[in-house]
Amino acid sequence: MNYSSLPKIDLHCHLDGSVRPQTIIDLANQQNISIPSQDINEIRSLMIAPETCQNLEEYLMRFDLPLSVMQTQAGIERISFELFEDAAKENVKYFEVRFGPQLHQLQGLNFDQIIGSVVKGMQRAEAMYDIKGNYILSILRTFPKDNIRDVIDAGAAYLNKGVVAFDLAGAELPGFCSEFIPYVEYAVEKGYRITIHAGEQGVGQNVFDAVSMLNAERVGHGIHITGHQAAYDLVKQLNIGLETCPSSNIQTKAVDKLSEHPLKAFYEDALPITINTDNRTVSNTTMTDEVRKVMEEFNLSREDYFNIYKISVEQAFASDEVKQHLMSFID
């Protein structure tokens, strides 16, 4: 099977976890930011989360270096363009990228400048390559909540012009959802679609809460519904998209090894699973790698692959026109 030439859809990828190592070096030099090395291999190895990571918190420490060079409009725009370019070159036809606007304010950028820059980079790539995309705004669960509405307001100007959805990311504590109900309601009022990281590190109850309290249409990871029947049943009944990210789940110890990932069992039970990268640099992966690993580990056929591709089309926060375009790639 030629995995590289398969048409692909990635619905769960973080911008700051997917920066080219060379770009970190270039931007650091341009911006006079001191970095631990000028050697691309050293920078790459500092960015990749090791297999020995103990948990999600340790994984999340890998984001400090890329974020240090993502504080200017030009830097953010370049990184957004390059990520869409990298994805287009491996036949990703539709790409939803997420990022946390709150993480890009260290040099005084406002949310409009930050969100405008990622959208501009994406649109530049869309004009050059056969790829369509949208951005998801991620709020960090561990951050102060006083500027969440400002992020939502700034992003609202870009809704359906490059921004489509709202997400909660970062460390996952049991019971986090209830604190975010008013913010998610505000985002929904403005017209955002909702996806929530849940059931990655945390308990299955978080998935139940994300769907029942926050009206999540999709969940990031969601793997811990395996131990929680009510969450499992709710996901199945409401056809909640499960954004699985296999390599990331192994690094964060959400699963011990790929063969223990529940995605195949979910697929066989007709749960709407999608396959995604999470963080291309931090997880040292691509969509081609994720698809290859999953298909080989679980003996999936080409027909299975296109079934999952179709689920991704259904679950995408894309316009009907883009969805029709994506369906044309199925052979």
Ligand X SMILES: O=c1[nH]cnc2c1ncn2[C@H]1C[C@H](O)[C@@H](CO)O1
Q: Can you give 254-275 as a three-state secondary structure string?
A: CCCCHHHCCHHHHHHCCCCEEE
Q: Which of Zn ion, ligand X, none does residue 136 bind to, with CB < 5 to 8 Å depending on kind?
A: none
The DSSP result for 36-57, as a single string, is: S-S-HHHHHHHHSPPTT--SHH
Residue 200 interacts with ligand X (CB under 6 A): yes or no:
yes
Q: Which of ligand X, Zn ion, none does residue 200 bind to, with CB < 5 to 8 Å depending on kind?
A: ligand X
Residue 16 interacts with ligand X (CB under 6 A): yes or no:
yes
- Catalytic, out of 172, 200, 243, 290: 200
Residue 200 designated active-site: yes
Output the six-digit token pair for 202: 């945390």
Q: Which is nearer to ligand X, 55 or 301 (CB)?
A: 55
Quick note: the x/- pattern for Zn ion over 220-259, rule CB under 5 A, is x---------------------------------------
The DSSP result for 166-209, as a single string, is: EEEESS--TTGGGGGHHHHHHHHHHT-EEEEEESSSS-HHHHHH
Let me know: does 152 contact 192? Beta carbons within 8 Å: yes
Dihedral (CA of 69, 21, 74, 157) sign? negative
Query: Residue length, the chain?
Result: 331
Q: Which is nearer to ligand X, 91 or 283 (CB)?
A: 283
- Residue 278 is assigned to a ligand binding site: yes
Interface of this chain with ligand X, residues 42 to 101, rule: CB under 6 A: 56, 60, 63, 98-100
Give the C-alpha separation, 169 to 19, whole Å: 18
Residue 286 interacts with ligand X (CB under 6 A): yes or no:
no
> Residue for token digits 């990520």?
83
- Residue 116 is assigned to a ligand binding site: no
Q: Which is nearer to ligand X, 209 or 278 (CB)?
A: 278
Output the six-digit token pair for 144: 């102060």
Residue 279 interacts with ligand X (CB under 6 A): yes or no:
yes
| Of positions 8, 78, 197, 218, contacts ligand X by CB under 6 A | 197
- Residue 133 is assigned to a ligand binding site: no
| Of positions 23, 72, 117, 138, contacts ligand X by CB under 6 A | 138
Q: Give the range of 72-80, 182-190, 277-285, 323-331 binding Zn ion by CB under 5 A.
A: 277-285
Q: How many CB atoms lie within 10 A of CB 106?
A: 10
Q: Which is nearer to ligand X, 173 or 181 (CB)?
A: 173
Residue 14 interacts with ligand X (CB under 6 A): yes or no:
yes
Q: Exposed, middle or buried: residue 199 (CB in 10 Å: 0-12, 13-18, 19+)?
A: buried
Q: Which whole-number Å values give the CA distances from 323 to 9, 14, 19, 177, 317, in the listed order?
A: 11, 22, 27, 30, 9
Q: Which is nearer to Zn ion, 24 or 168 (CB)?
A: 168
- Residue 14 is assigned to a ligand binding site: yes
Residue 17 interacts with ligand X (CB under 6 A): yes or no:
yes
Q: Enumerate the known binding-site residues for Zn(2+).
A: 12, 14, 197, 278
- Could you list the active site residues? 200
Contact residues toward ligand X (CB under 6 A) are: 14, 16-17, 56, 60, 63, 98-100, 103, 138, 169-170, 197, 200, 248, 278-279
